[in-house]
Chain A
């Protein structure tokens, strides 16, 4: 397929002229929506109300929220778009890079620091927001009005990032290198403890969309009542709610509300789970469909999952219009969840029973895989497949090979420094894993257990080569005595110096020349991007030892790469 990217090129309709006026161009994200003019109009009206209209927060503050969140989510499309917009507003490139990498290291006004702290937590871990976070933001210099602006902009950011994944627009500008996301901890999920902000009370007779909701739902949902401080945004949001969720179109109302329920469940948003369940009546077959499963996949927010989801819908015979609509419904459901998390609106109905088979299925496809379950044991996405293999479903093992082969291969290249031998050892690793799977007791994740087998397999081979001491190392890992030799500044954009293939080759050569005990740690942490805990467990190391080796490995790799990336060195290095 691929046609979701396209759309009707040609005349700029009225909504697009609004976008053109305020953005300076029409981002490609809007092109697929031109196939559905009503949807486009409502979508742009929401953007206009939240982003373009002058409110408590300035446009630069709102664009900064969109930019920082796009960076934190590694969303290449939105990152490049908002980078460019902020540049047009006069923010220097270097400052933007610093803010994207870690705003805490940049000199910012206290109010802006409080703003970014709040929106990052709301945008990345909405269900851990509590009254305390609202209090901290108010103490940091924000007002209730500016907080509502921030909540809406954060929700808009989630909508845009999700739409960019689901609609797959071409980049508007050349790709920029995304910063490495910082690992942050956000605290535990909270109950809805709001409403956190004051809002003037409106009744159905005061506001036409409220009258519609009263007639349709027999109540005005608290999440909308909590937004009456920003009437323009509320009206745009209600119009989009009506167009997307309460009307039959390419997808039926039931289908779209089922997608809403799936996204609420994946986000653990009790409020919207309760409301969508009430709307759908009995939670039944309608939720157990390709549409909802693909929605949860899209909400995982990586291009790979998005592609898989779109291809699955395509293969099931959904039309291009339906897929576009589906992507917008998922994006808007994410928007609604984020708004509710920020406002703390309390549910009108009891949430559905999480042990219902349909919801259980959704819960097992979390939007962002949590690292640990409530009781502190690791959450393992492989549990179900491992169980199938353990009861004799041999073919299910192929899925485990598929999921973990690259990780196993990198571990083995890290240890053996020989790609051919690593491929042989990979085969040994999976065969051993299969032989011993009946004894696997889930004290760790399957992937950690598998990597420890890979690690032992690699070490055995080193032992045969009599090189095992190179992995064990000796004495304390310390940076004492380490003196950087390459101390010339690097080019601002080292990625621009070489093609992707050249870059990969430089890095692979640099990594291969590291001593084994550093190489394997760099491989698992920085290339495979395992957490420190998982990498340490796989290699049988303590966290301090792992960190010490990682630091030394990174510094040695920096030394090896420096001649290729220091200012003016490209010619000399070739």
Chain B
């Protein structure tokens, strides 16, 4: 059976659904016996979910608009 280090090395591909069937089977066999990696994969999946959903580092229109205006003013100046 694979070790925790082997599992961790593959966890990224596993979360992205990019492991071959036979590798997935080995990872799942490991998970069936390893509480630590089960928690790791569950919490990593939840991390990914909340990070993806939160809409962090957004650029609100009120911030974006003056910057866009400044850029366009400079460009129009250059284009003259």
Q: Which residues of A contact B12 (CB under 8 A)?
A: 547, 550-551, 554
Across the interface, do B57 and A557 meet the contact criterion of CB distance under 8 Å? Answer: no
Are B74 and A431 closer than 8 Å at their CB atoms? Answer: yes
Residues 4 to 23 of chain B near chain A (Cβ within 8 Å): 5, 8-9, 11-13, 15-18
Main secondary structure of the interface of B (DSSP, over half): helix
Known: A504-B54, A511-B56. A405 touches B64 (CB 8 A): yes
If A183-B16, A551-B12 touch, whether A398 touches B68 (CB-CB below 8 Å) is yes
Whether A479 contacts B75 in the complex (CB less than 8 A), given A413-B57, A427-B67, A504-B54, comes out as no
> CB of B36 within 8 A of chain A?
yes
Interface membership of A462, Cβ < 8 A: no
The answer to whether B47 and A561 have CB atoms under 8 Å apart is yes
Distance between Cα atoms of A480 and B45 in the complex (Å): 21
- With the chains together, A405 CA to B63 CA distance in Å? 11
| A295 part of interface (Cβ distance < 8 Å) | no
In whole angstroms, how far apart are the Cα atoms of A480 and B4 in the complex?
10
Determine whether the beta carbon of A557 is less than 8 Å from that of B47. Answer: yes
Interface residues of B in 46-80 (CB under 8 A from A): 46-59, 63-64, 67-68, 70-72, 74-76, 78-79
Which residue of chain B is the closest to A495 with respect to CB atoms?
Answer: B50
CB-based nearest B residue for A409: B59
Docked complex Cα distance between A507 and B48 (Å): 11
Would A177 and B75 count as touching, CB distance under 8 A? no
- CB-defined contacts of A555 to chain B, threshold 8 Å: 8, 11, 44
Measured CB to CB, the closest approach of chain B to A425, in angstroms, equals 11
A residues in contact with B39, CB < 8 Å: 487-490
A179 near B: Cβ within 8 Å? yes
- Checking A409, A410, A507 against B50 with a beta-carbon cut-off of 8 angstroms, the contacting residue is A507
Measured CB to CB, the nearest residue on chain A to B47 is A558
Residue of B nearest to A523 (CB): B57
Main secondary structure of the interface of A (DSSP, over half): helix
Closest to A179 in B: B49
Size range of the chain A interface in the assembly:
35 or more
Kindly list chain A residues whose C-beta atoms are within 8 Å of the C-beta of B28.
105
Closest to B36 in A: A487
Q: A397-B72, A487-B40 are in contact. Are A527 and B8 (CB under 8 A)?
A: no
> When the two chains form their complex, are residues B68 and A565 in contact, meaning their CB atoms are under 8 A apart?
no
Q: Is the CB of B50 within 8 A of A503?
A: yes
- Tell me which residues from 104 to 153 in chain A have a Cβ below 8 Å from any Cβ of chain B: 104-105
A405 touches B59 (CB 8 A): yes
| Complex interface: chain B residues within 8 A of A430 (CB) | 71
Minimum CB distance partner of B76 in chain A: A394
Name the A residues within 8 Å of B55 (CB-CB).
504
A471 proximal to B (CB < 8 A): no
Distance of A450 from chain B, by nearest CB (Å): 13
Which of B36, B51, B63, B74 interacts with A522 by CB under 8 Å? Answer: B51
Smallest CB-CB separation from A410: which chain B residue? B57
* CB contact between B53 and one of A402, A482, A495 (< 8 Å): that residue: A495
Write out, one digit per residue, whether chain B residues 22-45 have a CB within 8 A of any chain A CB (1) or not (0): 001000100000001001101111
* Minimum CB distance partner of B58 in chain A: A406
Contact A401-B68, Cβ < 8 Å, known A406-B59, A487-B40? yes
Check if A405 sits within 8 Å of B46, measured CB to CB: no
Q: Of all chain A residues, which has the CB nearest B15?
A: A554
Cβ B46 vs Cβ A565 within 8 A: yes
Q: Which chain B positions have C-beta within 8 A of A406?
A: 58-59, 64
Smallest Cβ distance from B73 to chain A, in angstroms? 11
Residues in chain B within 8 A of chain A (CB atoms): 5, 8-9, 11-13, 15-18, 24, 28, 36, 39-40, 42-59, 63-64, 67-68, 70-72, 74-76, 78-79
A-B residue pairs in contact (CB < 8 Å), sample of 17: A177-B53, A180-B49, A183-B18, A398-B72, A405-B68, A409-B57, A423-B63, A427-B67, A503-B50, A511-B57, A526-B48, A527-B52, A554-B15, A555-B44, A558-B44, A565-B43, A565-B46
- Pick the 4 closest A-B CB pairs, nearest first: A551-B12, A182-B17, A558-B47, A490-B43
